[in-house]
Amino acid sequence: MATIRSRIRGTGRALPEQILTNFDLEKIVDTSDEWITTRTGIKERHISEADEYLSPFCAQASKQALEAAGIEAKDLDLIIIATVTPDQPIPATACFVQDLIGAGRAACFDMQAGCSGFIYGLSIADNFLRTGTARHALIIGGELLSKYVDWKDRATCVIFADGVGAVVLSAEEGERGILSSALHADGSMSDFITCPGGGSKIPVSHEMIDNNLHTIKMRGNETFKIAVRSLEAVCREAIERAGMTPHDVRWFVPHQANVRIISAVAGRLGWPEETIYLNIARIGNTSSASIPIALDELVRAGKIKEKDILLFAAFGAGLTWGSCLVRW
Ligand code: COA
């Protein structure tokens, strides 16, 4: 029987127009362009305006991905948005996006796995497609993290940014598409990256906001060390599952969290600079959006050739981590 695989047929991205540079940040918190550049690799990032929210950006990226795929919104069976920054707690932002793009047949839900959300979403959709439950799926990684950042906390506000990336995935016979994925989590480190308030544990209240529990907190240095080890292992896992070696990978498209993490992982796997796709200097850390944004840049720049092997890998709040190997 022919193998059914989930192939990425189209990609898209949407970023707020406003750009915040490291020099702008020097005026907001006690930091410097030099510190941010050397510690993270970030030079500037896109930040949404006060009246902007997630779903219109998701719709914009989705329309681009659908057009590139040559698929109409009404043919979508499934819309998944990986996000920690939805439009509102109820309902799912995926339902707003369904309405904005006219995808009336699609089942819709949001899910979150921190910065690993896009990889988790891709893997969920892959399972729907390979079992025949859906033929065409839209997977969006979208975040407006600037809305959840503490603009007085220099350890986080210089890192996180806003943006959306989307892909259209279709079930097809053949060798192209998702070859393997690997997903992991360790909830015993849930306090490494957290936004403690606003849920059922600490509901919204004046006191919660006075105590600043509605913003993101991160134990950056501890997260850094675990990220490098876990990413290396999960990259190897997806590669081995597909019966390949690190040498087979043409493009490593990692979550853009920190250039030092990415370089360390690439070094351990023996990948030269030209294998790694980096846009963190311009885009910052957009959590679940960073991989589909990077992928869309690569695709639209014409850098990926048919049958190239791509590896996506991410690490984030949860803690969660995962990877996905694709034959283009
Ligand atoms: N500007 C200037 N100084 C800063 C600063 C900033 N924006 N942010 C922190 N510092 C200071 C700290 O206060 C600390 O000062 P001290 O030595 O006087 O106490 C010093 O810089 C070092 O802080 P540290 O947190 O140890 O820095 P770091 O080298 O670990 O870099 C991160 C911080 C956040 C960039 C890095 O830890 C990181 O990227 N972690 C992983 C994040 C991640 O992968 N998250 C999961 C996916 S989102």
The answer to whether the pTM exceeds 0.85 is yes
pLDDT tens digits, 244-270: 999 999 999 999 999 999 999 999 999
Element (H, E) at 66: helix 54-69
The residue whose CA has the least distance to atom 25 of ligand 1 is 221
Nearest-CA residue for ligand 1 atom 9 is 155
Strands 193-194, 217-218: pairing is antiparallel
- Locate the ligand 1 atom nearest the alpha carbon of residue 31 and give its number: 1
What pLDDT, on the 0 to 100 scale, is given for residue 322?
98
Enumerate residues lining ligand 1, CB below 6 A. 31, 35-36, 39-40, 115, 154-155, 158-159, 193, 220-221, 223-224, 227, 257-258, 261, 285, 315-316
Mind listing the pLDDT tens digit for each residue in 128-161? 999 999 999 999 999 999 999 999 999 999 999 9
> Is residue 235 scored above 70 in pLDDT?
yes
Whole-angstrom distance between the N-terminal and C-terminal Cα of the chain?
22
pLDDT of residue 301: 98
Is residue 76 reached through a cis peptide bond, with omega within 30 degrees of 0 on the bond before it? no
Rounded distance from Cα 292 to ligand 1 centre (Å)? 26
* pLDDT band for position 2 (cuts 50, 70, 90): confident
> Which of 319, 100, 108, 301 is closest to 229 using CA atoms?
319
Number of the ligand 1 atom closest to the C-alpha atom of 287: 48
pLDDT at residue number 1: 67
Give the position, in ligand 1's atom list, of the atom nearest the Cα of 255: 47
Digit-coded pLDDT (tens) for 51-83: 999 999 999 999 999 999 999 999 999 999 999
CA of 220 to the centre of ligand 1 (A): 6
Which pLDDT score, from 0 to 100, does residue 170 have? Answer: 98
What pLDDT, on the 0 to 100 scale, is given for residue 64? 98
Give the mean pLDDT of 16-34: 97
With a cut of 90, say whether residue 49 has pLDDT above it.
yes
Mean predicted confidence (pLDDT) in 96-117: 98
Strand order in the sheet with 78-82: 4-14, 162-173, 136-144, 78-82, 107-111
For residue 174, pLDDT beyond 80: yes
Rounded to 10 degrees, the C-alpha dihedral 280/285/288/289 comes to: -50
pLDDT at 135: 97
pLDDT tens per residue across span 298-313: 999 999 999 999 999 9
Q: In 3-state terms, what secondary structure has residue 294?
A: helix
Give me the active site residues, please: 115, 255, 285
pLDDT digits (tens, 9 = 90+) for 267-289: 999 999 999 999 999 999 999 99
